[in-house]
Amino acid sequence: MKPVYLKTLLIAAIISMACTTKVSEWVLLNSFADKYRLVYYHKGDQATEVVTQHKELERWSETTNIVFKSEVKQAVSDPYYALYYGNRLFGEYDDSSSVKSINTSPVRDKVVEELLAGKLCVMLYLKSGNSEKDNQGLQVIKKSLDSSPFSEIITLIEIDRGSTTEKHLVSLLLNVESDLKEIDEPMLFGVFGRFRALEPLLGRGITEDNIKLLIDFLTADCSCLIKDNLPGVSILCKADWERPSPALVNVILDANPSLLHR
Amino acid sequence: MKLKIFIFLWIIFFLNSYHPLKAGNDWPMWRYDKNRSASTSGKLADELYLQWQAKFSVRIPVWDDPLNRNLMQFDRILEPVVADNKIFVGFNDQDKVVAMDINTGKEIWHFYADGPVRLPLTIYNGKIVFTGDDGYCYCLNTSDGSIIWKRFLAPAENKLLGNKRLISMWPARGGIVLEDDIIYTAASIFPLMGTFIYALDAETGDIIWKNEGTGSNYILQPHNSPAFADVAPQGTFTISGDKLLVAGGRSVPAAFDKKSGEKIYYRLAASGKTGGAFTCANDKVFFNHHRWRETWMYDAETGERLTKDAGEYPVIDGNNIYFSGNKIRASRLNDDKTLDSLWSINADASGDLIKAGDCLYAGGREGITAVRITPGKVPEVIWSFDSDVKIERLVAANGKLIAVTENGDIMTFGDTPVQEITRLGKDKTGLKRGSSKARKIIRQSGVSEGYCLVFGGEDTKLLNGLLSGTDLNIIVYEKDKGRVNSLREYYDEAGIIAERISFLQYKDQFPALPKYISNLTIINDPFYINYNDDDLLEQIYEITRPYGGKIVLGFRGSERDRIIENFIALNIQGVTVRESGLPMLIKEGSLPGASPWTHNYGDIANTVKSDDKLVKAPLGILWFGGNSNLDVLPRHGHGPGEQVIDGRLIIQGVDCISARDVYTGRVLWKRESEQLKEDNWLVFYDETYDEENPLDPKYNQVHLPGANARGTNFIATKEFVYLIEGNKCSLIDITNGETVKVFDTGSDNTKELGYIGVYEDLLILGNNFSEFTGLENDSIRIKNPKFTNYDLTASRELIVLDRFTGKRLWSTNANHGFLHNSVIAGDDVLYCLDKLPQYLETKLRRRGEPLPEGSRLVYLDIRTGEKLYEKTDDIFGTWLGYSSEHKLLLQATRPSRDMLNGEEGNRMIAYNAVTKEKIWDKAVKYGNPPIIHNDKIYTSGEGFHLLTGEPLTERDPVTGEDLKWSYKREYGCGYVAASEYLLTFRSASAGFINLEAFEGTGSLGGWKPGCSTNLIVADGVLNSPDYTRTCQCAYQNQTSLALINMPWMSYWTNSNYKWNGNPVKQLGLNFNAPGDRSSDDNVLWFEFPYVSGAPPEIPVTIDTIDILKIRKEPFSIISENTPWISSSALVGIKNFEIGLADDNNIPESSYTVRLYFSELEDKKQGERMFDIKIQGEIVAEEFDIVKEAGKPDKEIVKSFHGIKAGSSIKVELIPRAGKTLICGIELVQENLSQK
């Protein structure tokens, strides 16, 4: 496979037009996360305690990329909560307390922390459970990162597909593309901006070339094409994105201009 | 005697007092006063009675589209003003002003201007002033209509076609406002043409101040992106306190200091999607049009918006604001500039609302209602009048209430009943019989529509015959002023509007007419032509339309023969003489150097370039307006761009395709198609398109990949427009829009046609779209499905037909799909990529899965279908382009905004199309369909050598070193297109790169170019059809237009140049210019102070005394080559020093220093003198600009050679009389200039 051919593997456009801000930085600063939709379906009357809980949910939703609303649905036997992204149903929940945990998890908190610290991206390695395949993929990733001039500003986090503490995150990641749930392969998600997960590299697609291209994408000048049609999917998370640290990618590029994409 | 005088004065006083509306209560300007308050203190009687009613025709407003018509309503209805018992009205269709007796309605006098009178009139001291599209401000005597003075507001007499009329290039649409005997007005509605805003002495017409040059300011346009385009004066001006509010057409007005003429603010970008020509004000706030009749309220001090949806057009009575609408709403404006609601009353004020004395008068669908408002009491309806037609304007003056209806009637009400209401309305006489000569000309020329220029107006039978026998728009050039007047009277009486026949009166000079407009030129009088005057003959030929425009010599004798002989002797390319029958000269074929633009990317080779060599900078407007964007697809659907061939521009709408004259904008034909509407659904428009509500500022039509992904669905050729309709291809006669044939593929399985292209006599059709949905396998789409639908990008089979007979010649099937953007042809070879779309290949790679077999690059003999070559390695991308000159095939992708996911541009391969060998293969990043421009490739912002793939370089204009070629593009969708000398694109406004000079990105400011690519150079014209349908942005103008090269026109660029600190070889500093520009000898001139774009970082220190900045339009300056340098200046400079190198220790070298001057303050000889020192040495003593130039506004250049300078150069100006003034400085290192 010729290296120049591999350039075609970029997930979204990299062109050097007007903007010299890097993709990772521009998206973090300017691109709001897509909102999930949490709907409470009920027959009509809401008990006082439910109203109180929903006021709390509204406050809770202010720090999360989620919109909460109630809808009357006569066909409902018992009230419930449903979580959507676009037209896709993510999950259904019986009560508000189980809803409140869907926006946080240790890994998500860590990812948010790393992105706000100015990291280029976080690579989430979702292991398949097949240790041979998982180890093979992990070695490729580590080798790629070791040889990358941006290794210091990329955080690698491994997640077990069966993790109970990260079950919501795993579910969210497996919804980045519609058929991921049926694929028993390790997956590598590049996460950048305000928790935007790119379409993953899968199994044999986890190669050094593909990882390099993923990094290239994030370190390239941002373009209108990116701004118009941002690749990837927003992941549900709790975060305050208002005051991120300066992008560390600029420090590396300033010190090593040869790394600039021309 | 004294007693008699006393009694007389008492009687006068009594009579005045007795009259309900005092004699002083005229209605002297639009909406009564300078604030446009619509509020007069004069009372009307409690009961009013209709006295008379005059019938006029319904107005046809200047602009063509619903949104424009709503935003700029200044000539929508008749707009009366009143003084001294006379009503005065301007007419946009008969180019006249009429005075009527207020008591009888009878006409007292009328006056014809030399162009449409579109803006309301203003009266003062027995004078009436108004502006016209002819570029003039007229002042007439109100008693008899005689001219008192006439001020030319335009800088020259040049004409263009504007809104279907022959008008000034700088139409005066600054609706006059008057205060303290000063008139404020303006000419020009396009900043690129220069704008001219005036304060005139109302008594004499003398200029008090003139603001020119502001139009070129580099300011933020809508989308917060900059361009050289400031306010474009269009609409009625208003005064608010010490500010002149200059109506900005479709935008919120700009504010100027009414004393000095300096601009204070113009918040074009900040104001957002609102604005319009209506403004009314008090000293604190102003109300400006939003949509329909709604207004938003702004702080007059800052221009910042205070309140959205304040209410419909209000009456302003101090701090009492009465809003019109379906009911009247009263509000109070507080000191903190907030509004408190007071009361409302049900009275239909949906047409107009005014206040006279203590009554509000509301006009609407049901008639007129008078509401008395007494402090402390409930408002009460005291009088009403029922009307079947909507009342659109009310005026209260001289004891009368005047109402204007939507159907063009003027009704006048008085305080006493009349026995019989007078009904006025002239029956038009109609046309008298035309002459046989007219019939002969029509028959033999074969011209029956378009523009006709007649030299000499004596033969009215000829004119009558042309009018009755054709649909021509006739322009008569007549030297005799009296004859012009009588002809105007004659045709006005006949009921023929000036759009059909208008008159140009020039006694001693040939009118400066636009090129190419005349379909038929009739020289009817030998007096108008001198056969020896080659310049005149050439001018007449230039005016004539290419592709068959006719010049008929309508007189006999040897003079005629000599003229024909001399025309032939001029040896002009394209001229032919038809001797049989009526002798005529015919302008055959295209303009020499012109070239067409067909297919979506210029030609079937996908070069994205027109070979047109006529269009180059500077550019000026040839025509604007006159057609509607309703016949064009919504701008964000990114449908196919226009195609231009043989003087016709073909453009598609949602359910139609139409042809327009490239040289006039005239609609030639329009063919509607329900099938097209069905085909275009979800391709070029979707459910977000709301056709029914063009005024709603919502986001109408989301972005679609449209033709970027699908390719075009029509091809224009000399004979036919080939249009895909369902599974067939219709051949539409390009001359008349009639379907003459319908081709099918000959296959039973054809559900739809995909690709379409024409190569010589062959028609290439894609049989059915390739479906990739199975591969995508993403049934529940998270991403925007519009940008992941690849099923319209490729065809399953290519079928080649004889394009004249429809005979099927050959076909070939795809393994995956022939990607439409890659199906091209050249030198009898058809090239195409048969593969998956890029994103799907990317997805497979990302998942570590192999690509399916069968991806290939194929070369086919286009005549037989024989496979000449097939390549299966290095298959990538979605795009092919071909250079016939270099026999080079370019493989690439097609990145641009609004393109399908995955179309990144990061690789190109060039093949030798003959040997099939790879010439180069580069990992280069780019953002445009690659433009093949002779031996270069241009993309968005960059360029490459076609033969090597290496980046283009050029000479650094300042240091002479090598520099990577690049340019900057501001905001704009659509891809960059090329012609021989220009790259054109939207860059906030229309933008261009002059490929002949290093000067950066130029602006053509003042209108919105398309969101889909529409700036196409072809047939000698930069075409810009209005491809902005559904756009609500407040660009100064929203219209179709065409531009041509005008060497005398100015333009400005943002060079985006950054100096690297190495020794300066040459540069120019253009003091107080709006932007950069290169001179003919390739010196890059930077504006100083640096105001447009990023500064070049060339250090300049300056020491001044009371600095004053002056800028005029270059047009105003006499200069052979560089009026754009000498049209702006800094006054009061003591000295300035320019850094020439970062290194302080570089050795000295010799420079030639040229200093540019022009007296821009109209000083006389001796009033401004100064010594000039360079590097401490006196080089000129008591330099007097006027003395040396001979007059003000004339350039004088002082050259000084052998000036030694190292790391800097210093120039000192030492005043001797008055203040110093300097326009520019040019430095050229002498060893460089000697080279």
DSSP assignment string, B575-626:
EEEE-SSS-EEEE-SSPTT---B-STTSSTT---B----S--SSEEEEEE-S
Residues of B in contact with A200 (CB under 8 A): 846
pLDDT in tens, B145-172: 999 999 999 999 999 999 999 999 999 9
Residues of B in contact with A261 (CB under 8 A): 925
**Average pLDDT of span B702-722:** 96
Among A6, A9, A176, the residue to mutate for chain B (most B Cβ within 10 A): A9
A151 burial (CB, 10 Å; 0-12 / 13-18 / 19+) is middle
Architecture of domain A3-32+106-259: 3-Layer(aba) Sandwich (3.40)
Nearest 5 degrees, angle CA B254-CA B258-CA B264?
Answer: 40
The percentage of residues in chain A with a pLDDT greater than 90, rounded to a whole number, is 48
Q: Taking the C-alpha atoms of B908, B911, B916 and B921 in order, what is their torsion angle to the nearest 10 degrees?
A: -50
Residue B658 or residue B1144, greater confidence: B658
* Location of structure tokens 């040059």: B213
**CB contact (8 A) between residue B895 and residue A13:** yes
Question: Last residue of some domain: B397, B424, B451?
Answer: B424
Distance from the Cα of B1138 to chain A's closest Cα (Å) equals: 29
* B880, B890 contact by CB (below 8 A): yes
- Examine the domain organization and report whether B1026 and B1063 are in the same domain: no
Residue A19 has a pLDDT of 52
Rounded to whole angstroms, how far apart are CA atoms B691 and B514?
35
Tell whether the model's pLDDT for residue A13 goes beyond 50.
no
State the residue range of the domain holding B201. 25-424
Question: Last residue of some domain: B424, B452, B467?
Answer: B424
Distance from the Cα of B924 to chain A's closest Cα (Å) equals: 8
Q: How confident is the model at residue B784 (pLDDT cuts 50, 70, 90)?
A: low
pLDDT in tens, B972-1015: 889 999 999 999 999 999 999 999 999 999 999 999 999 889 99
3-state secondary structure of B688: coil
Residues of A in contact with B907 (CB under 8 A): 4-5, 7-8
Residues of A in contact with B876 (CB under 8 A): 5, 8
Question: Which two three-digit tokens encode residue A144?
Answer: 């790629």
- Which residues have a Cβ under 8 Å from the Cβ of B461 and sit 6 or more positions away? B432, B433, B434, B435, B437, B438
Which of A15, A88, A175 is closest, CB to CB, to B926?
A15
Task: Write down the domain spans for chain A.
Answer: 3-32+106-259, 36-99
pLDDT in tens, B1095-1114: 999 999 999 988 999 999 99
Question: Which two three-digit tokens encode residue B533?
Answer: 């005057």
**Average pLDDT of span B203-215:** 96
Residues of A in contact with B843 (CB under 8 A): 199
- Examine the domain organization and report whether B631 and B561 are in the same domain: no
Among A2, A7, A140, A235, the residue to mutate for chain B (most B Cβ within 10 A): A7
Question: B313-349: string of b/e by CB count within 10 Å (b at 16+)?
Answer: bbbbbeebbbbbbebbbbbebeeeeebeeeeebebbb
Q: How confident is the model at residue A224 (pLDDT cuts 50, 70, 90)?
A: low
- Examine the domain organization and report whether B173 and B321 are in the same domain: yes
CA proximity to B375, closest of B422, B343, B409: B343
Task: Determine which of B284-293, B525-534, B1082-1091 has the lowest per-residue pLDDT on average.
Answer: B525-534
Q: How confident is the model at residue B429 (pLDDT cuts 50, 70, 90)?
A: confident
What CATH number should be reported for the domain holding residue B934? 2.130.10.10
- Examine the domain organization and report whether B1169 and B1111 are in the same domain: yes
**CB contact (8 A) between residue B848 and residue A202:** yes
**CB contact (8 A) between residue B782 and residue A176:** yes
* A156, A141 contact by CB (below 8 A): yes
Q: Where are the beta strands (DSSP E) in B349-491?
A: 352-356, 359-364, 367-372, 380-386, 391-397, 400-405, 409-414, 422-424, 451-455, 473-478
**CB contact (8 A) between residue A12 and residue B904:** yes
Residue A204 has a pLDDT of 93
Task: Determine which of A17-31, B9-23, B445-459, B497-511 has the lowest per-residue pLDDT on average.
Answer: B9-23
**CB contact (8 A) between residue B927 and residue A233:** no
Residue in B closest to A224 by C-alpha: B897
**CB contact (8 A) between residue B904 and residue A228:** no
**CB contact (8 A) between residue B925 and residue A16:** yes
Distance from the Cα of B911 to chain A's closest Cα (Å) equals: 16
Distance from the Cα of B847 to chain A's closest Cα (Å) equals: 4
Distance from the Cα of B834 to chain A's closest Cα (Å) equals: 17
CA proximity to B339, closest of B361, B309, B369: B309
Report yes or no on B448 lying in a domain.
Answer: yes
- Examine the domain organization and report whether B533 and B653 are in the same domain: no
Residues of A in contact with B779 (CB under 8 A): 178
**CB contact (8 A) between residue A16 and residue B970:** no
Rounded to whole angstroms, how far apart are CA atoms B310 and B279?
13
Residue B877 has a pLDDT of 94
- Examine the domain organization and report whether B305 and B375 are in the same domain: yes
**CB contact (8 A) between residue A205 and residue B779:** no
Residue B1168 or residue A14, greater confidence: B1168
Residue B580 has a pLDDT of 77
- Examine the domain organization and report whether B1024 and B1078 are in the same domain: no
Which of B895, B923, B940 is closest, CB to CB, to A7?
B923
Mean pLDDT, chain B, integer: 93
Tell whether the model's pLDDT for residue B1159 goes beyond 70.
yes
Residue B308 has a pLDDT of 94
Q: How confident is the model at residue B360 (pLDDT cuts 50, 70, 90)?
A: very high
Residue A3 has a pLDDT of 37
**CB contact (8 A) between residue B907 and residue A8:** yes
CA distances from A39 to A69, A237, B19, B37, B570 (A): 5, 17, 71, 52, 81
Residue A223 has a pLDDT of 61
Question: Which two three-digit tokens encode residue B446?
Answer: 């074969």
Residues of B in contact with A90 (CB under 8 A): none
Tell whether the model's pLDDT for residue B463 goes beyond 90.
yes
Q: How confident is the model at residue A95 (pLDDT cuts 50, 70, 90)?
A: confident
Tell whether the model's pLDDT for residue B531 goes beyond 80.
no
Distance from the Cα of A200 to chain B's closest Cα (Å) equals: 7
Residue in A closest to B893 by C-alpha: A8
Which of B845, B898, B925 is closest, CB to CB, to A14?
B925
**CB contact (8 A) between residue B841 and residue A200:** no
Which of A13, A17, A201 is closest, CB to CB, to B904?
A13
pLDDT in tens, B618-655: 999 999 999 999 999 999 999 999 999 999 999 999 99
Nearest 5 degrees, angle CA A22-CA A23-CA A27?
Answer: 120
Distance from the Cα of A86 to chain B's closest Cα (Å) equals: 6
- Examine the domain organization and report whether B989 and B1117 are in the same domain: no
**Average pLDDT of span A55-74:** 89
- Examine the domain organization and report whether B949 and B1073 are in the same domain: no
Report yes or no on B1050 lying in a domain.
Answer: no
**CB contact (8 A) between residue A14 and residue B906:** yes
Report yes or no on B890 lying in a domain.
Answer: yes
Rounded to whole angstroms, how far apart are CA atoms B999 and B66?
39
Question: Which two three-digit tokens encode residue A178?
Answer: 């519609």
CA proximity to B27, closest of B390, B354, B373: B354
* B617, B1078 contact by CB (below 8 A): no
How many Cβ contacts (< 8 angstroms) between chains A and B?
123
Residues of B in contact with A9 (CB under 8 A): 842, 845-846
- Which residues have a Cβ under 8 Å from the Cβ of B259 and sit 6 or more positions away? B242
Tell whether the model's pLDDT for residue B1218 goes beyond 50.
yes
Which of B842, B895, B969 is closest, CB to CB, to A9?
B842
pLDDT in tens, B1071-1087: 999 999 999 999 999 99
Residue A242 has a pLDDT of 86
Tell whether the model's pLDDT for residue A15 goes beyond 60.
no
Report yes or no on B13 lying in a domain.
Answer: no
Residue A89 or residue B221, greater confidence: B221
Distance from the Cα of A89 to chain B's closest Cα (Å) equals: 10
DSSP B957-977: TTT--EEE-B----S--S--E
Q: How confident is the model at residue A261 (pLDDT cuts 50, 70, 90)?
A: low
Among A2, A4, A236, the residue to mutate for chain B (most B Cβ within 10 A): A4
Residue B1069 has a pLDDT of 98
Which of B848, B897, B907 is closest, CB to CB, to A224?
B897
Separate counts of helices (H) and strands (E) for chain B: 14, 92
**CB contact (8 A) between residue A202 and residue B901:** no
Residues of B in contact with A220 (CB under 8 A): 925
Tell whether the model's pLDDT for residue B783 goes beyond 90.
no
CA proximity to B172, closest of B146, B205, B204: B205
Backbone φ, ψ for residue B776 (5° rounding): -70, -40
B558 burial (CB, 10 Å; 0-12 / 13-18 / 19+) is exposed
- Examine the domain organization and report whether B968 and B1030 are in the same domain: yes
Residue in B closest to A179 by C-alpha: B778
pLDDT in tens, B829-842: 999 999 999 888 88
Residue A45 has a pLDDT of 78
Residues of A in contact with B778 (CB under 8 A): 177-179
Alpha carbon B1048 to chain centroid distance? Answer: 18
pLDDT in tens, B103-157: 999 999 999 999 999 999 999 999 999 999 999 999 999 999 999 999 999 999 9
Query: How many independent structural domains does chain B possess?
Result: 4
- Examine the domain organization and report whether B663 and B804 are in the same domain: yes
Rounded to whole angstroms, how far apart are CA atoms B312 and B329?
9
- Examine the domain organization and report whether B171 and B198 are in the same domain: yes
Tell whether the model's pLDDT for residue B786 goes beyond 50.
yes
Diameter of chain B measured on Cα atoms = 117
CA proximity to B625, closest of B63, B59, B61, B60: B63
* B703, B684 contact by CB (below 8 A): no
Residue type, B694: P
Residues of A in contact with B926 (CB under 8 A): 15
User: Which DSSP symbol is given to B1072?
Assistant: T
Residue B7 has a pLDDT of 52
**CB contact (8 A) between residue A9 and residue B906:** no
Report yes or no on B804 lying in a domain.
Answer: yes
Which of B783, B897, B969 is closest, CB to CB, to A228?
B897
Q: How confident is the model at residue B526 (pLDDT cuts 50, 70, 90)?
A: confident
**CB contact (8 A) between residue B845 and residue A12:** no
* B512, B535 contact by CB (below 8 A): no
